[in-house]
A and B are shown apart, each in its own frame.
Chain A
Amino acid sequence: MSFLTQFWVVSWSVCALAVTIVVGLVIYSSWAKSRAAALSLKREHYVALLKAGADALEGKATMPADDVLTDLAVELLELVRGDEKARFAERVARLGTVARLHRRLRRGNVRSRVLAAAALANFNDEETRNALTGALDDRNPRVGRVAALSLAAMGRSPAPRDMIRRLWIGEPEAPPLIVMLLFGLAQSNVESVRSLLLDPDTSEQHKAAAASALALCNDVAAAPIIARLAMACDPRARELPRYLGALADIEHPAGSPAVLHWLDSSSAEVRAAAARAAGRIVVEPALDRLERLLGDPDWWVRFQAAHALLRFGEEGQGRLGKACARNEEPARETAMLTLAEHADFVDAA
């Protein structure tokens, strides 16, 4: 058989394969459609029973809970809050949904394990906590991280330092996901997260993540520590703007020395972060420098400085007005447009 004939045969085989795939997809669609219809009926049945109260479910639902009831319960749990959520979680747990989720966490594929770890955050019992703690060592780090988030949400996480070491070891940057984890932890044990800031073995990136998490909790006690860390930072350190951002969000005067220190930084990113923090904390000694920053070569710094001045009330608006009167660009344009924008905002309000 010549090369061209072989090629011809191969091409026909390729076509046959393609036809098989398409036929398989049509059969699969047909099966999936009927399965979806059956699942939908089952869900409707469970929803009706759940509406009637969990007691109505007992005896009528498949026990222990099947996948449909488990998925439905998890979906509904995400939609309720507070005491209602706790009561609902307790009821669906009695129906065996937690046992089903535990099984998924142990034996499912990665996607199933991740979702089970996330769903188990709704069930704060000892067995679940043990299961999630075990999942921290899952062979897939994504499962471990979600388990850590769930434990943190329960307020039962291991020490944050150990957690970070176990789950984010070797990563060059601290992702926002760590902030979320530490935020969850800080809500039940703020001291443990704050202690990270003082721990000499914790990397600067992770300290900055801890600072951001504490800022989300508005932990004013952390402000002096974060300010000290910011003061001691290398001017080009990547975490410096994050420290200043945390100080801005906490809005505590203890951050003032660091803010004043970095307003004259050579890095535009740092100047912008410091200007924002100066406005949020209302650092009065920073007024002159903020006014000067209206003429900064970097647009983002000018923007932050102008909006910081607005936060000083009449004094800040007066400074912006003076900058409008001076014929110095780009400060004049920045001040003029900021005031106009502010006036629009006030009118709208």
Chain B
Amino acid sequence: MLPEPWETLRQAAEILDFTVIGLLTAQLCLFLLTFVAASVAVVERPPHASPALLWRRYAHIAPPITIIAPAYNEALTVVASVEALLALEYPAFEIIVVNDGSSDDTLKRLVDRFDLRPVARLCNRASPHAPIRGFHASTRVQRLLVIDKQNGGKADAVNAGINASRTPIICVTDADTLFESDALLRAVWPFIEDPLTVAVGGTICVVNGSKVSAGRVIEARLPRNFLALVQALEYQRAFAMVRVGLSRLGAMSIISGAFGLFRRDAVMEVGGYSLGTVGEDLELVVKLHRLFRESGRPYAMRFMAEPVVWTQAPEWFGDLGRQRARWQRGALETIWKHRTVALNPRYGPVGLIGFGQIILLDVIGPIVAVLGYVLIPLCWAIGLLSHEYFLAFLSAVFGFGFLMSALSLAFGQILLGKIERPSDMAIMGLVAVVENFGYRQLCNLWRIQGWWQYLRRHEQWGRMTRKEFKRD
């Protein structure tokens, strides 16, 4: 018979074990729900028509689009990205690059490459942003406008772009994002098919390791850096599976800041992006949901897997840690600011499933997981927990994670087919196993860091190291 305090500790350890297992099981159930919804969406998805056919069909009615690309210290990649944007296959679009007070040569490189000169521009002032220093346009490339403004963060920069835009649809992206040439033609489809559409998100793939020429990915390859490789799998899980499923359920709570199309009037109506937040993309989508739900107006938000853009994933622990902590802070800020939406049936699937998922994965998830990683092995080592408990914990952590990744790979192949070589697929399968041993735990630690920063009201965006694209 164990002494009483020891017995109490043992019971507490068992409760912790069950809590961790319960949380992971709940996450898996939610994932399986999105898996079922994603399966339905895959069956229902529109056919993958050739760009030539899409152009023939929709060139006359495709709404004009303004692409807004905020750039902060993107000197290494900004020219290639803008060249790719200019080469997009779309009947009517304008590109607004917002130089958000870069301290490097971002503006100079743009001015030199595209022969930019100062111009005037009549702008709206509906969305708040830091003062604009000037507008630059080119006589040679008439689709391009560059806004040079004081630094204010991504949301602030996008707001400046929104104010300067004049088209019914805006496309928000990052200056280091590379578009596939038909991405806009495909992404605009929901706006053409359903006039109630207010926002559409597309797929983001990791460009690290791929060959790029003239701002276009000409050969998709797996990253050689391990961190980027794991992120490629994570992106596949998020885009090819979870968002497809959440979109089908009507519970899409986020459209990535790297590639999202929005109806400009709706974005204006909610006052653009909120300043002083680092989760501005999540927050904007929640504001749009609230606007339409609270005013009783019908609307639709869709995720389309086929339109693809490519982005650089961080290859250094420091960059990745800062990014993940920032994402965590953004999720926490949004969930607190819009807490009335959480699990509220009035907001339909987005309140129940969309916010439910954020709470489960972002709010409670990292805390419970890190407690589990630290305490359960410790309790097992000192004999507080039996082998059975410990093995159940291990199997929940690793087995479920592996299944989620394997299913995501399958969906990624069905929807996107970006992994062509069998050896690459085998590597991704291996990564799906390996990521469970160390990487996921590290991510949870970064998220705890994000929690801490949120509680300390830390407001910095964080620095990111950029690399030039690998050229052909």
Chain A interface residues toward B at CB < 8 A? 2, 4-5, 7-8, 11-12, 14-15, 17-19, 21-30, 32-33, 36, 75, 78-79, 110-112, 114-115, 118-119, 142, 149, 172-177, 179-180, 183, 216, 299-300, 303, 306, 334, 337-338, 340-341, 343-344, 347-348
- CB of B120 within 8 A of CB of A340, answer yes
With a cutoff of 8 Å between Cβ atoms, the chain B residues found around residue A29 in the complex are 413, 419-422, 424-425
Return the contact of B392 from the options A7, A173, A216, A337 (Cβ within 8 A). Answer: A7
- CB of B410 within 8 A of CB of A21, answer yes
Q: What is the bound-complex CA distance between A311 and B409, given in angstroms?
A: 55
Given contact pairs A26-B425, A115-B49, A299-B125, A4 touches B392 in the complex (Cβ within 8 A) = yes
B66 → A minimal CB distance (Å): 14
Q: What is the bound-complex CA distance between A292 and B275, given in angstroms?
A: 34
Q: What is the bound-complex CA distance between A300 and B400, given in angstroms?
A: 52
Return the contact of B195 from the options A75, A175, A180 (Cβ within 8 A). Answer: A175
Closest residue of B by beta carbon distance from A216: B60
With a cutoff of 8 Å between Cβ atoms, the chain B residues found around residue A118 in the complex are 49, 53, 57
Number of interface residues of B (CB under 8 A): 62
Given contact pairs A21-B406, A25-B425, A142-B46, A180 touches B120 in the complex (Cβ within 8 A) = no
* Chain B contacts with A in 11-52, Cβ cutoff 8 A: 21, 44-50, 52
Closest residue of B by beta carbon distance from A344: B119
B61 → A minimal CB distance (Å): 4
* Chain B contacts with A in 104-132, Cβ cutoff 8 A: 119-126
Q: What is the bound-complex CA distance between A28 and B425, given in angstroms?
A: 10
With a cutoff of 8 Å between Cβ atoms, the chain B residues found around residue A177 in the complex are 61, 192-193
Proximity bits, B401-442, A CB within 8 Å = 1, else 0: 011011101100100010111101110010010000000000
Proximity bits, B278-296, A CB within 8 Å = 1, else 0: 0000000000000000000
A115 → B minimal CB distance (Å): 5
Q: List 6 A-B contacts (CB under 8 A).
A: A15-B398, A32-B420, A114-B49, A173-B194, A175-B194, A180-B57
Return the contact of B192 from the options A23, A75, A111, A175 (Cβ within 8 A). Answer: A175
With a cutoff of 8 Å between Cβ atoms, the chain A residues found around residue B126 in the complex are 299
Q: Is B457 an interface residue (CB 8 A)?
A: no
Q: Is B218 an interface residue (CB 8 A)?
A: no
Chain B interface residues toward A at CB < 8 A? 21, 44-50, 52-53, 56-58, 60-61, 63, 119-126, 137, 139, 142, 166, 191-196, 298, 388-389, 391-392, 395-396, 398-400, 402-403, 405-407, 409-410, 413, 417, 419-422, 424-426, 429, 432
Closest residue of A by beta carbon distance from B166: A303
Return the contact of A75 from the options B50, B121, B122, B123 (Cβ within 8 A). Answer: B50
With a cutoff of 8 Å between Cβ atoms, the chain A residues found around residue B410 in the complex are 21, 24-25
Q: What is the bound-complex CA distance between A215 and B403, given in angstroms?
A: 54
With a cutoff of 8 Å between Cβ atoms, the chain B residues found around residue A33 in the complex are 420-422
Return the contact of B395 from the options A11, A119, A347 (Cβ within 8 A). Answer: A11
A231 → B minimal CB distance (Å): 24
B214 → A minimal CB distance (Å): 21
Q: What is the bound-complex CA distance between A7 and B17, given in angstroms?
A: 13
- CB of A176 within 8 A of CB of B61, answer yes
A135 → B minimal CB distance (Å): 14
Q: What is the bound-complex CA distance between A184 and B270, given in angstroms?
A: 37
Closest residue of A by beta carbon distance from B195: A173
With a cutoff of 8 Å between Cβ atoms, the chain A residues found around residue B406 in the complex are 17-19, 21-22, 25
Residue among A11, A21, A33 with most chain B CB within 10 A: A11
- CB of A17 within 8 A of CB of B58, answer no
A24 → B minimal CB distance (Å): 8
